[in-house]
Structure 1
Amino acid sequence: MITQEVLKEDLLTLEPKAFYLKHIVKSHNWYFSEYLHVPSDEIVDKMDYFKEIVSTNLGINFHSMQIVGSAKTGYSLSPKKVLQPFHNRDSRMDSSDIDIAVISEKLYLHFWTLLRNTKGIYNQYYYKYLTASIFRGYINDKNLRNIDGIREEWDDLVAPINVALQDKLRFEHPITYRIYRSWEDLGEYQLIGISKARAALEGKKNV
């Protein structure tokens, strides 16, 4: 089990790339092992089943996805809530999400084309957030859900995945998706986030 103290020490001492490889890329998964309590000898099979469900429904390569965020490590790496534990919904805050990174240039280009051809999008308040993410090689599902016509296609695509993950693997938390153009774009996004989390943690140490 990777503890909060281990993550803290690694954030403060490892280079971002080394932290990314150790805690994000490698196969250990907090949600499966510590929340769902999947026995260690079944982890690989369960993770493969997860990949099968997602890849089959999205029409992507079996390995073209990655759970990231606090569901992956057990603790948030967001600079605003660095090392905050993954949590259920309570009176003070919403439930943590299960964040799934989908790496598919085909899906990325498909939804980018739909977004680009949508009339009226340029007048929407979220346009600047959408274009900022496109520039960095990813699309958030929350942006897809903000746009009539695209929302319905996206929901039709992921609804069977969400149901299967809940029914077959007992996922209990909201599931969010981010489509990346490439593994390089995912890595760049994660490295920036890790660097910001480290800076936030160092700032807290100096207070």
Structure 2
Amino acid sequence: MLVELKNDLITKPAKDIYHKYLLGQDVWYFKEHLKLPDHSKKYDELKYYISNGLDIHFNNIAIVGSAKTGISFNPSNKFRYFQQDSDFDIVLVSPRHFEKFWNAYVDMFYNQVIIPEYDSVSKSIFKKFISLKDPTQKHKDIKEWVKTVNPFVKDLQQFFGIAHDINYRIYDSWESVEKYHYFGISQFKNFVANNKKKEMQIAAIISSLINKGNGNN
């Protein structure tokens, strides 16, 4: 898959890569990591479970990140495979939830609550999503969220085999999801293209040295 992904990053536009690797029913974690024969069905069951628990439509839930593809699309991770310390990223598209938690953070800010994750939340809200992993629990809406999702941990492990930390990313729209991933994939494409050029340059230098060593001009 790594070779195919590298080739796609060089030859395909970001939109095609997004559709090929991040959409659809194939989830690396279920298919390859857990080796479930009914991996697509398990994905649907997970979405139904989350949909019922969080009151978010089934079609507005998706697994993303390295749990989906097996490989991180973050250029700084340099094609890092899904590992034991990797998060299991789940996208939730819900304008209602996004606005509620945005307002919760605004309320905490103006009430002078210390928010350790302030910088990361500020950056994510600018991109129209909120990541609720270890949030500051000084607001009733966030406390209610934590109280709701905490029981999921046991069920996700028992019924779905997910033994990794869950990172919920709540977006205001699918358009924001696409923009975020298109941008990330574009950066990834640049990273691969630049490294491809470096590889070719190094190969040319090595070839030149070999030719000189053999007495060829």
Q: Is there any run of 5+ residues in structure 2 with no aligned partner, and where? A: 199-217
What is the aligned partner in structure 1 of residue 208 from structure 2? none
Contact 1:16 1:195 in 2 (8 A): yes
Deviation (angstroms), 1:163 = 2.1
1:51-200, aligned counterparts within 5 Å?
A: 51-88=47-84, 95-118=85-108, 119-121=111-113, 124=115, 126-142=117-133, 145-149=135-139, 151-200=142-191
SS across alignment from 1:102? strand
SS across alignment from 2:188? helix
Deviation (angstroms), 1:131 = 2.4
Deviation (angstroms), 1:26 = 1.8
Instruction: Report the residue type matching 1:204 in the other structure.
Output: N
Output the TM-score relative to the length of structure 2: 0.83
Q: Is there any run of 5+ residues in structure 1 with no aligned partner, and where? A: 89-94
What is the aligned partner in structure 2 of residue 31 from structure 1? 29
SS across alignment from 1:37? coil
Deviation (angstroms), 1:151 = 4.7
Q: How much is the aligned-residue C-alpha RMSD, in angstroms?
A: 1.7
Structure showing greater Rg: 2
Instruction: Report the residue type matching 1:6 in the other structure.
Output: E
Deviation (angstroms), 1:25 = 1.2
Deviation (angstroms), 1:153 = 2.5
Equivalent residues, number: 195
Identity of aligned residues (%): 33
Higher RCO (CA < 8 A, seq sep 6+): 1
Output the TM-score relative to the length of structure 1: 0.87
Contact 1:78 1:193 in 2 (8 A): yes
Flag as ranges the 4+ runs of structure 1 deviating above 6 A.
Answer: none
Deviation (angstroms), 1:148 = 2.4
What is the aligned partner in structure 2 of residue 92 from structure 1? none
